[in-house]
Amino acid sequence: MKKIAILTSGGDAPGMNAAISSIVHSGFNLDIQVIGVLKGFEGLIDGHFLELNYDSIKNIIQRGGTILKTSRSKRFLRKSYRKVAFDHLKSKKIEGLIVIGGDGTFKGASVFSKEFQIPVVGIPCTIDNDLAGTDFCIGFDTAINTAMDAIDRIRDTAESHNRMFFVEVMGRDSGMIAMLSGIAGAAEVILMPETKMSIEEVVIELKKQFKNNTTSLIVVVAEGDEEGDAHFISRKVKTHFPDLDIRITVLGHIQRGGKPTCMDRFLSIRLGVAALNALKNGYSSDMVGIVNNKVVYLSLERAFKKQSKLNQEMFQFFESFRLNRTI
């Protein structure tokens, strides 16, 4: 294998640039030419390629986002457009593809690899940390540290004014960001899809905190909580605490941006090297991950079909922590 391409797809995450840098450096060492695809699968369809060299990756390891840009491609869902994408790779004599992204990226890459028999290796990169086959996805550590820092800052003003704050973090289907940042930020209540906590239960928890003479309260809400978003839940809670000053902060996309942490940079570099080696050694339609601090491989299909959830030990820990906070 002498020539491969890489692309970033779906939501951006801190560490994507570090992974790109790692792959390019590894390519130099293995005498493999690395071509960048601009704007993800959309760029693959449109034939937007960029040869990557030392100048391309200079001083990008510390930058958030992705120098290759990203997109969510509806066209790639259609076989006719996937054929166009494959023809572009073939015309450039590209022998393998590395995709950096989450479940949607892996779904498209898995189908593409099987349809056209082109080797594809995936690097898990999503702040939700919800892919099977790896303990951590690129971007997760930065996102939870960003959220925790925001909660700490909000706590300062909450205590100064005796306020209740609802802090909404990302996580449509996964409560990993909410749980870790909420516990680390000493939130009084944490709401996430996995817990299925009702408004009535939230009110009971908050009233227990008031009995403990708590004068400021933080409620962390994952955006995908089944009871609703932070605005909706706060309005429901307000009816039980009419005299309390309640404020809402939606962290939104600041969790995706910013410089990646040391852990995310190291993870990105390690997975980048592993992905290129996997292509070189004949892996196809597989994801590289880290489990128990060792590089492992899992099919792209299993990675997105068996999405990572809070395991029983983590869930029991959360429940124990929650009860101890409210006794």
Considering the candidates 103, 128, 130, 141, report the single residue annotated as catalytic. 128
Residue 318 maps to a domain = no
Domain shared by 225 and 248, yes or no: yes
DSSP element (H, E) containing 287: strand 286-291
pLDDT digits (tens, 9 = 90+) for 189-247: 999 988 888 999 999 988 888 777 667 899 999 999 988 999 999 999 999 999 889 99
pLDDT at 308 over 90: no
Domain shared by 87 and 221, yes or no: no
Residue 205's pLDDT is 87
Number of domains in the chain: 2
130 is catalytic: no
pLDDT digits (tens, 9 = 90+) for 15-27: 999 999 999 999 9
Residue 316 maps to a domain = no
- The order of strands in the sheet holding 49-51 is 49-51, 33-37, 3-8, 96-101, 120-124, 286-291, 294-299
- Chain center to CA of 202: 27
Residue 212's pLDDT is 73
Domain shared by 8 and 119, yes or no: yes
Cα(302)–Cα(106) distance, rounded to whole angstroms?
10
The whole-number average pLDDT for the span 136-153 is: 97
Instruction: Give the list of residues 6+ apart from residue 291 with CB closer than 8 angstroms, or none.
Output: 133, 134, 135
Domain shared by 156 and 80, yes or no: no
pLDDT digits (tens, 9 = 90+) for 80-98: 999 999 999 999 999 999 9
Domain of residue 132, residue span: 3-139+260-305
pLDDT at 313 over 80: no
Crossing angle of helices 16-30 and 262-280, in 10° steps, is 40
pLDDT at 309 over 90: no
